Amino acid sequence: MKFIIDVHSHIFSARDIPLKGYLLSRNYEDKIQKLLSPILIPSIAKCIRGKLNREKNVFIKIKCKCTMGLVRLFMGGQYLKWGDTLSKDIESIISELIETFEKDEIDLFIPLMIDYEYWFKNTPDTLIKDQIDFIYENVILPYEGKFHPFVSFDPARELAFRKKLCNPDGDPEKYGSMNLVKDAIEKKGFIGVKLYNSMGYKPFNNASVDDKRRRISLHKKKYVFKGEEYDEVLTELYDYCVENEVPITTHCGMYGIESYPDASFDFGKAVYWRDVLDQEKFKNLHLNLAHFGWYTPEGYTGKITWVKDICKMLDDYNYLFTDVSCHRVVLKKYIRKFKSDYKKIGSDFPIVKERLLFGTDWHVLKRVPNFRDFKDDYIDVLKHENNFNDAEIKNFLSGNALNFLGLYKGGKNLKRLEKFYKDNNINPPEWFKSIRLSDGRS
């Protein structure tokens, strides 16, 4: 078997998220960008939304052209290109994704849905139920096995639903996250669940951060739930995922999208997952700590590093994995450090070679120059001084992902996909046919 799985990509458009809050929440390392982002981003968000909605007002279009000129000057051309992708509809984003990685011959993409509605001051976005249905009808079915996404789970949405509260748009919350997850997994070709802890909840023991959540502007009055309530709905999710062999991917990188600056450190550290995985009933939970906890200036050897924490955890938990999405391996100034760090990792924690997953984080990856070379450059890093051999590279590109996703003989995810293809008259793709009788390794 020879095929490639991207376990971490995105296909959301500006219409699917509270865009201004999303863009403002990003950590900007460049000092000028950090200074100017609060000034520019409200206008950037309006312009991206305007383009997506085909704004016709000439004055507004001229204003946006000037705004995007400032974006190119101060935020960079790559940021502008990423904004252009956000301003497209999902069908166009899918086409661009396929074209971008055409030379890499990626057989299966795992787009991760995100649900930020309950965490940022809201710009009206597409209802999460409508997003799921749209992806099912317009992506999963027509592409016949090329895309099998992870559905988002938001404990705040679930609690609002149970308490019969209104959503941030002011309408009664009709959809609980748990019901949406079950429907997507069991009927619509989704194969996993996406969590985003740095929004404002730990994997477990949430009572310890009740005071931290009060810093979230949207939660100060409207959505103040107790830590025990977060634990209750998250435990139900973990129970369901273990029983049905449904994998979970959670954001686990310093910074990224945060409900407030440094919220990742309050809610999203890798070590917080020990409180879940140390419970006997969750020892078989398939979990991917996305981004490998990586923050490029620190990497594996820095003073503040989550990478080493994850490496230690991989030794302790049999079904824990980590992906490499959006690492800066395409930038020459970081190549030497990546090679050096992985050489140390390979020596200190050889288990990493069995648990490392290939993922791009496209379209967010578009913010980085040379993003089209991501796969080849990452392989060069891993093969440096024969650190990873050919078989280990092969498993990095697909074999490890099969084990994480539960796509092996007898696996419930494999059986669900087989039934899904049959029920929808889909001829199973070649990658699926080649693993149906395999033991889970590529």
Portion of the chain with pLDDT greater than 90, in percent: 75
8 Å CB contact between 265 and 36: no
Can you give the pLDDT at residue 320? 98
Q: How far apart, in whole angstroms, are the C-alpha atoms of residue 13 and residue 83?
A: 10
- The confidence band for 218, taking pLDDT boundaries of 50, 70 and 90, is confident
Q: How far apart, in whole angstroms, are the C-alpha atoms of residue 437 and residue 442?
A: 12
Q: Looking at the whole model, is its pTM more than 0.85? A: yes
- The confidence band for 184, taking pLDDT boundaries of 50, 70 and 90, is very high
Is the predicted pLDDT of residue 439 greater than 60, yes or no?
Answer: no
- Give the H/E segment covering residue 108: strand 108-111
Domains in the chain, number: 1
Q: What number is the average pLDDT over the span 179-206?
A: 97
Return mean pLDDT, the chain: 93
Can you give the pLDDT at residue 438? 57
Can you give the pLDDT at residue 437? 56
- The confidence band for 194, taking pLDDT boundaries of 50, 70 and 90, is very high
Strands of 196-323 (E only): list them.
Answer: 248-251, 287-290, 320-323
Q: How far apart, in whole angstroms, are the C-alpha atoms of residue 133 and residue 254?
A: 32
Q: Is residue 20 part of a domain?
A: no
Q: Is residue 379 part of a domain?
A: yes
| Three-class DSSP category at 152 | strand
8 Å CB contact between 223 and 160: yes
Task: Report the CATH number at residue 245.
Answer: 3.20.20.140
8 Å CB contact between 193 and 151: yes
Residue 126 vs residue 153, higher pLDDT: 153
Give the pLDDT confidence of 306-333 residue by residue, as tens digits: 999 999 999 999 999 999 999 999 999 9
Angle at 249 between CA 215 and CA 95, to 5 degrees: 105
Q: What number is the average pLDDT over the span 264-279?
A: 97
Q: Is residue 31 part of a domain?
A: no
Count CB-CB contacts under 10 A for residue 205: 14
Is the predicted pLDDT of residue 413 greater than 50, yes or no?
Answer: yes
Q: Is residue 241 part of a domain?
A: yes
Can you give the pLDDT at residue 60? 83
Can you give the pLDDT at residue 75? 84
Q: Is residue 351 part of a domain?
A: yes
Can you give the pLDDT at residue 123? 67
Q: Is residue 54 part of a domain?
A: no
Side-by-side strand order, sheet with 248-251: 150-152, 192-195, 248-251, 287-290, 320-323, 356-357
- The confidence band for 40, taking pLDDT boundaries of 50, 70 and 90, is confident
Is the predicted pLDDT of residue 378 greater than 90, yes or no?
Answer: yes
Can you give the pLDDT at residue 390? 96
Give the pLDDT confidence of 80-131 residue by residue, as tens digits: 999 999 999 999 999 999 999 999 999 999 999 999 999 998 667 889 999 9
Can you give the pLDDT at residue 273? 98
8 Å CB contact between 435 and 402: yes
Can you give the pLDDT at residue 441? 41
Q: What number is the average pLDDT over the span 199-210?
A: 97
Q: What number is the average pLDDT over the span 9-28?
A: 90
Q: How far apart, in whole angstroms, are the C-alpha atoms of residue 67 and residue 407?
A: 47
Helix ranges (DSSP H) in 53-194: 58-70, 77-86, 90-100, 128-135, 141-143, 155-162, 177-187
Q: Is residue 315 part of a domain?
A: yes
Stretch among 50-54, 136-140, 256-260, 326-330 having the lowest mean pLDDT: 50-54
Domain residues for 288?
A: 5-11+89-435
Count CB-CB contacts under 10 A for residue 57: 10
Can you give the pLDDT at residue 2? 82
The most confident of the ranges 52-61, 295-304, 424-433 is 424-433
Q: Is residue 178 part of a domain?
A: yes
